[in-house]
Amino acid sequence: MGLRSLGVAVAGLGRIGRVHSEILAYRVEKARLVAVMDVVEELARSTAERFKVKAYTDYDSMLKDPEVDAVFVTTPTYLHHDMIVKALEAGKHVFTEKPITVTADEAVDVVTRADRAGLKLMVGYMRRFDDAYSEAKRRIASGEIGKPVAFLNVARDPGAPPGWAQDPKLSGGIFLDMLSHDFDMARFLIGSEVKRVYVSGGAVLYDEIKAKGDLDLVNVSFEFENGVYGVVHGSRKSVFGYDLRTEVLGTEGTVYVGSAVDPNLAVGVKSGVVLRGVQWFWARFYEAYVREDQAFVDSVLNDAPPPITGLDGLRVVEVAEACWRSIQEGRPVEVVKRL
Amino acid sequence: MGLRSLGVAVAGLGRIGRVHSEILAYRVEKARLVAVMDVVEELARSTAERFKVKAYTDYDSMLKDPEVDAVFVTTPTYLHHDMIVKALEAGKHVFTEKPITVTADEAVDVVTRADRAGLKLMVGYMRRFDDAYSEAKRRIASGEIGKPVAFLNVARDPGAPPGWAQDPKLSGGIFLDMLSHDFDMARFLIGSEVKRVYVSGGAVLYDEIKAKGDLDLVNVSFEFENGVYGVVHGSRKSVFGYDLRTEVLGTEGTVYVGSAVDPNLAVGVKSGVVLRGVQWFWARFYEAYVREDQAFVDSVLNDAPPPITGLDGLRVVEVAEACWRSIQEGRPVEVVKRL
Amino acid sequence: MGLRSLGVAVAGLGRIGRVHSEILAYRVEKARLVAVMDVVEELARSTAERFKVKAYTDYDSMLKDPEVDAVFVTTPTYLHHDMIVKALEAGKHVFTEKPITVTADEAVDVVTRADRAGLKLMVGYMRRFDDAYSEAKRRIASGEIGKPVAFLNVARDPGAPPGWAQDPKLSGGIFLDMLSHDFDMARFLIGSEVKRVYVSGGAVLYDEIKAKGDLDLVNVSFEFENGVYGVVHGSRKSVFGYDLRTEVLGTEGTVYVGSAVDPNLAVGVKSGVVLRGVQWFWARFYEAYVREDQAFVDSVLNDAPPPITGLDGLRVVEVAEACWRSIQEGRPVEVVKRL
Amino acid sequence: MGLRSLGVAVAGLGRIGRVHSEILAYRVEKARLVAVMDVVEELARSTAERFKVKAYTDYDSMLKDPEVDAVFVTTPTYLHHDMIVKALEAGKHVFTEKPITVTADEAVDVVTRADRAGLKLMVGYMRRFDDAYSEAKRRIASGEIGKPVAFLNVARDPGAPPGWAQDPKLSGGIFLDMLSHDFDMARFLIGSEVKRVYVSGGAVLYDEIKAKGDLDLVNVSFEFENGVYGVVHGSRKSVFGYDLRTEVLGTEGTVYVGSAVDPNLAVGVKSGVVLRGVQWFWARFYEAYVREDQAFVDSVLNDAPPPITGLDGLRVVEVAEACWRSIQEGRPVEVVKRL
């Protein structure tokens, strides 16, 4: 490849956008953070100042910047499709935060366009780069637990997502906004696609989520094409912190990832021994974000397929759409592959 | 009450029958073990000798023994119905090991007969008497975790059941022989009935189980009448020991019962820190059996309803039958109440 | 050996005496519980009734009973010496609860007498028969952790012992009444004798213990003859339950025994995830007592040395006496072997 | 204070020096990394290039740089004294990695000079800034566990330190090079000074450590001025990773910090359930280093005492010197305060 390093810009400077900015500025080899962009001028300005890069408030202007080789799309989901399309049209490689888009139609569109344009498109399911999850993948792939037969996942967020993410029309709802992480992990660890889903659940935790038509507690039962049986349990509430645990049962063993508690502090008092929950998301996954961003930069510089492709992103949207149909129709639903 | 103590006999001297015999002989107040019965003469003789009680090889003869006030039915499931009926006809109170019978028809019959005869009929779901499970029940009932919204259960046995229990016509199959414990626990902790089930799974672990038409790996998704959502995951294999864990998510907290490992021994070597699985079923539940048997004896002597009634037993058979229909028809199935 | 089974009597019917009685009555093969004895008539009578054996209130009378082949001495420590001597003089084998006696002089006396009389004398350090501790012993002996180099032990009781055991003249104090378990375990796991001890600590938890001249918080640093370095930390207080943990560091690994918490119940609430401490001593060690009593009965019937001899009991008293000298003189003290 | 931001230089670019450089370059507010220095030219050059700062191979030249307001001394311990002295003479504030110096004489000298010069001198015991340790401190200080009565610490490194650190004349030996972290933590959590120590231990793990006259396995028993009793157990070997655990027993509870295992990955196979040890030191403590460096920068800019002073550094050296005397003389030794 001709490029010695990659000029990157981050568009959307909410929390996750600022994390990617920081990582791209300091931690990723052969990346040069050259610009950040947000429609909130003060946010664009202060972030740019912190990293000594250009500030944009207009996405189109940023895309014209010749120093920008690749764009990180870190805006709310409902903006992804149009922003990815524009970036591709401007000849930029794209890293988009998960999920790729709100609908499968949109996902098909951006995947097709990226292919046609010969540009990289990667989707940010950072758990794949987490030390424990990637070691789990290695152990499973090595045959240590025999042939996988079941995948189980408990995912409980500490609280409801704010604002736009409560509206399924903007976020894709719980299956896409929250559980797409878990479906992607299922595909990653099992190495097969989800072919049928059945969902039960409801909006039983938050009135505002119910009002918007989303769900906040679901059990998704599913089957993979290779015969493995899966369950994803998702809840938008866990009062003591993140409770994220994954297990894969094989014919010769079981892999467990994640813990409901932080083992590093326990206080024994009369009522028992109290452990802390996992309070800070970034503490667990920061290094995963670093490796993820490095992997994207490497894939562009080496002209290699990114480790999580647009097609991976589409697959998960297809699963989420099947989940929505299942809960609406009260029956198991086949996942339809669009590409 | 007239009776100062209860004369009991144990019919069926496999492992569980010998455990009940030992407990009734030594640990239960106001119980007098007076006889044991098994068609294998040597088993009947040696067990009787150990506890210094009468040995029978013929069930009908045992039922004529006037010292026997109550019978413990601890034979394979397919014998339960007829043995319970005969005991009731002989005017004996009955404790039956789980599950109550193979079919709901049979369960309706024995429940109806016990009611009509005014005799006690209790079913042995001993987990309810386990220290951790009963404390969990107390905590949930006290409101400590708010309103329950989800029930999750992982149940993995170390290996396939031997002989008759692999044949669903004799044992009721995995839903009844193994997972009826979990469905009973679901009803106990949530305090509501299962109204709809959806099952995915198969026979993927053992050829002999597949040959008999049973399943060895299932995910059961279900809903309770009170709106709680549940999942029971069951596997007939877990290479390192029993892996039984239950959790109830509430609006204000989560209760976890059970552990995949015994924390009392860990060995750190180059490959990591190795903990033992839970090897010996009885070590965890022996005291639960003692409390269970005491509860039955007390209910007879005090003429009070047993803590787990024949109707409880029937409810679980109804759920299991719905599970079988669900897997056969590939759709969610309503649980039909027979009484 | 001529004896087909062993007639045993239990003298001293406090909690531990009743546990041994129950175990000897029901759980030990080739043992016949024939009598129980306590100076409290009602206790002797009710216990005897429960097990359908003879009741004695007078120890000397019990010793004349020809059905009694062996005596279990389960009285307060300060009574051990005289009771053991009398039993030996009456030709009875003796199992004594720990510690063997209050002083090393007394221990030398009973060990010498038992040897001379050719009668068995066993001391009840039941932890050696615990599943986790005995497995730890096997693992260490097998070389799995290489050569042991350090032994660490944390022993915290939930509260102060009642009455007589707070008086070091009657109980031997914390080193003998409580920590002799830990010193015996150190000798058992390391397979060597303690040669030097240094103690720091005080009476900082309970005024009544301070008033009696005992200690309630101690750190004992010691060295084994084979060069292993040890620490025993003991506390008479742990507000959430027993906190007993042992570890052995080897050149190739580490063995950990015990857990501060019971993993079988956890409740996640706003303040964190609360686990229960280990509340019930017997739950952990009941089966160890069964195996211990069986081992004593077997040793008598097979005329084999008991697994924990009077000499083992003496060794621990010698360590405890060195501990007392160390704290009084503020210096490390060599352990003097008396036999 | 007049300074709007602090110009810092890092002298000594081994692993810990590069970590501080990275943190000062990217993560610390109001810090400007202006220079790095190492006698290995290539190391100085490549590090400087990475952070776009000046490279020095000569310490004296670096001290003349007017942009440098403060120096981070991150060289081997035996170089600390002279480098701190020179920095103070050049009018620079100093952050030194632990331990402050090899001897108490040296520590007295640098503390006295810093005081006289009115310059800040901070010592890097970063554990104080770890999330779990600082929360433990808050809980203890709040009275949640009543009055502290005992401090216990297990510190096991995965392997022997390389090169110079094996020589006690250069590193201060195990008590200073390794366990000074633990003594500092003891002082921090208990809020009192160590007044007497007793050490047993030896060089039993590594021949090369024995050859240099250092120890690799020690048990330090000690007493605080406020009556709390402590133990620090240290080992230079733990085959599966770092094993660092601290506990403080109080009259009303117990605080536990640290875990021998990473709970985020477990693999259940026939031999049991295998958890990983804690492999990567930085994963646990990276954020603690960030907060530590921020605290130093803030203390200079606000002209406030640093949270860990030169006197703190001296106190720990005094304890280490008492430990050496104790092991040499085989007796408890009083800690002598030099300032």
Q: Tokens 């647009």: give the residue.
A: A310
Task: Report the complex ipTM.
Answer: 0.95
* Digitized pLDDT (tens) for each residue of chain C, 339 residues in all: 455 899 999 999 999 999 999 999 999 999 999 999 999 999 999 999 999 999 999 999 999 999 999 999 999 999 999 999 999 999 999 999 999 999 999 999 999 999 999 999 999 999 999 999 999 999 999 999 999 999 999 999 999 998 899 999 999 999 999 999 999 999 999 999 999 999 999 999 999 999 999 999 999 999 999 999 999 999 999 999 999 999 999 999 999 999 999 999 999 999 999 999 987 667 778 899 999 999 999 999 999 999 999 999 999 999 999 999 999 999 999 999 999
Closest CA to A215 of B332, B190, B334, B149: B149
Residue of A237, A248, A256, A334 to mutate, testing the B interface (most B Cβ within 10 Å of its Cβ): A237
DSSP B175: I
Q: Is the peptide bond before D99 cis (omega within 30 degrees of 0)?
A: yes
**D272: nearest CB among B243, B270, B274:** B274
How far is C-alpha A150 from the chain's CA centre?
22
Nearest CA in chain C to B135: C265
Asked if A259 lies within 8 A of D258 by C-beta distance, the reply is: no
**A261: nearest CB among C238, C271, C273:** C273
**Secondary structure (3-state) at B252:** coil
Distances (CA, A) of B303 to B291, B294, B295, B306, D149: 18, 14, 12, 9, 54
The answer to whether C176 and C147 are in contact (CB under 8 A) is no
Q: Which residues contact D57 (CB under 8 A, 6 or more apart)?
A: D37, D38, D39, D40, D41, D44
B275 chain-A contacts, CB cut-off 8 A: none
Residue of B264, B269, B274, B276 to mutate, testing the C interface (most C Cβ within 10 Å of its Cβ): B264
Does D1 reach chain B within 8 Å, measured CB to CB?
Answer: no
Alpha-carbon dihedral A69, A72, A75, A78, rounded to 10 degrees: 80
**Residue D278: band (very low, low, confident or very high) from pLDDT cuts 50, 70, 90:** confident
Q: How far apart are CA A241 and CA B90, in angstroms?
A: 58
Distances (CA, A) of C301 to B55, C87, C109: 29, 18, 25
Closest CA to A214 of A82, A69, A327, A116: A327
The answer to whether A213 and A174 are in contact (CB under 8 A) is no
Does D260 reach chain C within 8 Å, measured CB to CB?
Answer: yes
- Residue A67: the pLDDT is 98
Closest CA to C100 of C120, C84, C116: C84
Which backbone phi and psi does B126 adopt, to 5 degrees? -70, -20
Which backbone phi and psi does A27 adopt, to 5 degrees? -110, -15
Q: How far apart are CA D168 and CA B338, in angstroms?
A: 81
Q: How far apart are CA A288 and CA B226, in angstroms?
A: 41
How far is C-alpha A180 from the chain's CA centre?
7
Q: Tokens 């990983």: give the residue.
A: D276
Asked if C240 lies within 8 A of D254 by C-beta distance, the reply is: yes
Does B49 reach chain C within 8 Å, measured CB to CB?
Answer: no
**Residue A163: band (very low, low, confident or very high) from pLDDT cuts 50, 70, 90:** confident
**D274: nearest CB among B238, B239, B272:** B272
Going by their DSSP bridges, the two strands A31-37 and A6-11 should be labelled as parallel
pLDDT at A1 exceeding the cut of 60: no
- Residue C249: the pLDDT is 98
pLDDT at D222 exceeding the cut of 70: yes
**Inter-chain CB pairs, A–C, below 8 Å:** 56
Q: Which residues contact A215 (CB under 8 A, 6 or more apart)?
A: A173, A174, A201, A202, A203, A209, A327
Distances (CA, A) of B50 to B28, C291, D275: 17, 18, 44
DSSP B309: B
**Inter-chain CB pairs, A–D, below 8 Å:** 84
Q: How far apart are CA B215 and CA B213, in angstroms?
A: 7
How close does chain A come to C270, measured CA to CA in Å? 5
Tokens of C147: 């050569």
Q: What are the residues facing A257 on neighbouring strands?
A: A246, D265
Q: Tokens 């072997």: give the residue.
A: C337
What does pLDDT average to over chain B? Answer: 96
How far is C-alpha D254 from the chain's CA centre?
25
Q: How far apart are CA D6 and CA D4, in angstroms?
A: 7
Which backbone phi and psi does A302 adopt, to 5 degrees? -100, 5
Tokens of D146: 């009543």
**Residue B10: band (very low, low, confident or very high) from pLDDT cuts 50, 70, 90:** very high
Closest CA to A121 of A283, A312, A337: A312
Does B118 reach chain A within 8 Å, measured CB to CB?
Answer: no
**Inter-chain CB pairs, B–D, below 8 Å:** 56
How close does chain B come to C256, measured CA to CA in Å? 5
Closest CA to A27 of A287, A280, A281: A287
- Residue D1: the pLDDT is 43
Does B16 reach chain C within 8 Å, measured CB to CB?
Answer: no
The answer to whether A220 and A197 are in contact (CB under 8 A) is yes
**D265: nearest CB among A136, A253, A284:** A136
**Secondary structure (3-state) at B34:** strand
Does B331 reach chain A within 8 Å, measured CB to CB?
Answer: yes
Tokens of A122: 């990667």
**Secondary structure (3-state) at A83:** helix
Spell out a b/e string for B82-118, using b for 16 or more CB atoms within 10 Å of the CB, else e: ebbbbbbebebbbbbbbbbbbbbebbbbbbebbeebe
What does pLDDT average to over chain D? Answer: 96
Nearest CA in chain B to D275: B273
Alpha-carbon dihedral C156, C157, C162, C164, rounded to 10 degrees: -50
- Residue B280: the pLDDT is 64
**Secondary structure (3-state) at A201:** strand
Closest CA to D209 of D157, D167, D159: D167
**D144: nearest CB among A135, A267, A287:** A267
Tokens of D50: 């990475």
Does A274 reach chain C within 8 Å, measured CB to CB?
Answer: yes
B283 chain-C contacts, CB cut-off 8 A: 131, 287
Nearest CA in chain C to B255: C267
How close does chain A come to B238, measured CA to CA in Å? 7
pLDDT at D2 exceeding the cut of 70: no
Nearest CA in chain D to C159: D251
Distances (CA, A) of C294 to A202, C134, C185: 57, 15, 19
Over residues D144-196, the pLDDT tens digits come to: 999 999 999 999 999 999 889 999 999 999 999 999 999 999 999 999 999 99
Q: How far apart are CA B110 and CA B89, in angstroms?
A: 11
Over residues D10-50, the pLDDT tens digits come to: 999 999 999 999 999 999 999 999 999 999 999 999 999 99
Report pTM. 0.96
Chains in contact with B, where contact means 3 or more Cβ–Cβ distances below 8 Å, are A, C, D
Residue of B271, B273, B276, B279 to mutate, testing the D interface (most D Cβ within 10 Å of its Cβ): B273
Nearest CA in chain C to B262: C263
pLDDT at D281 exceeding the cut of 70: no
**Secondary structure (3-state) at C72:** strand
Q: What are the residues facing A138 on neighbouring strands?
A: none
Does D76 reach chain C within 8 Å, measured CB to CB?
Answer: no
How far is C-alpha D139 from the chain's CA centre?
23
The answer to whether A320 and A176 are in contact (CB under 8 A) is yes
DSSP C4: S
**D239: nearest CB among B239, B266, B268:** B268
Tokens of D321: 């010197």
How close does chain C come to A241, measured CA to CA in Å? 8
Asked if C269 lies within 8 A of B22 by C-beta distance, the reply is: no
Going by their DSSP bridges, the two strands D6-11 and D70-73 should be labelled as parallel
- Residue C281: the pLDDT is 66
Asked if C233 lies within 8 A of D231 by C-beta distance, the reply is: yes
Distances (CA, A) of B183 to B167, B339, C38: 20, 18, 49
Residue of D248, D267, D284, D290 to mutate, testing the A interface (most A Cβ within 10 Å of its Cβ): D267
Asked if C222 lies within 8 A of D204 by C-beta distance, the reply is: no
DSSP B162: P
Over residues A236-256, the pLDDT tens digits come to: 999 999 999 999 999 999 999
Tokens of B302: 């005090």
How many CA atoms, within 13 angstroms, populate the side-chain half-sphere of residue A316?
A: 30
Asked if D274 lies within 8 A of B277 by C-beta distance, the reply is: no
D203 chain-C contacts, CB cut-off 8 A: none
The answer to whether D222 and D196 are in contact (CB under 8 A) is yes
Q: How far apart are CA B82 and CA C148, in angstroms?
A: 61
Tokens of B261: 């490992």
Q: Percentage of chain B with pLDDT > 90?
A: 95
The answer to whether B273 and D277 are in contact (CB under 8 A) is yes
D25 chain-A contacts, CB cut-off 8 A: 26
Q: How far apart are CA C10 and CA C19, in angstroms?
A: 10
Burial classification of residue A75, based on how many CB atoms lie within 10 Å of its CB (0-12 exposed, 13-18 middle, 19 or more buried): buried
Asked if B229 lies within 8 A of A198 by C-beta distance, the reply is: no
Chains in contact with C, where contact means 3 or more Cβ–Cβ distances below 8 Å, are A, B, D
Task: Give contacts of D 308-327 with B, CB under 8 A.
Answer: none
How would you list the strands of the sheet with A54-56, edge to edge? A54-56, A31-37, A6-11, A70-73, A93-97, A121-124
How close does chain C come to B257, measured CA to CA in Å? 5
B132 chain-C contacts, CB cut-off 8 A: 262, 264-265
Does B186 reach chain A within 8 Å, measured CB to CB?
Answer: no
The answer to whether C268 and A240 are in contact (CB under 8 A) is yes
D205 chain-C contacts, CB cut-off 8 A: 149, 251
C217 chain-D contacts, CB cut-off 8 A: 149-150, 229, 249
Residue of D27, D127, D264, D271 to mutate, testing the A interface (most A Cβ within 10 Å of its Cβ): D264
Does A269 reach chain D within 8 Å, measured CB to CB?
Answer: yes
Does D245 reach chain B within 8 Å, measured CB to CB?
Answer: no
Q: How far apart are CA D338 and CA C271, in angstroms?
A: 44
**H/E segment holding residue D283:** helix D281-301
A37-43 CB contacts, 8 Å cutoff, 24+ apart: A37/A9, A37/A10, A37/A11, A37/A12, A37/A13, A37/A62, A38/A11, A38/A12, A38/A13, A40/A13, A43/A13
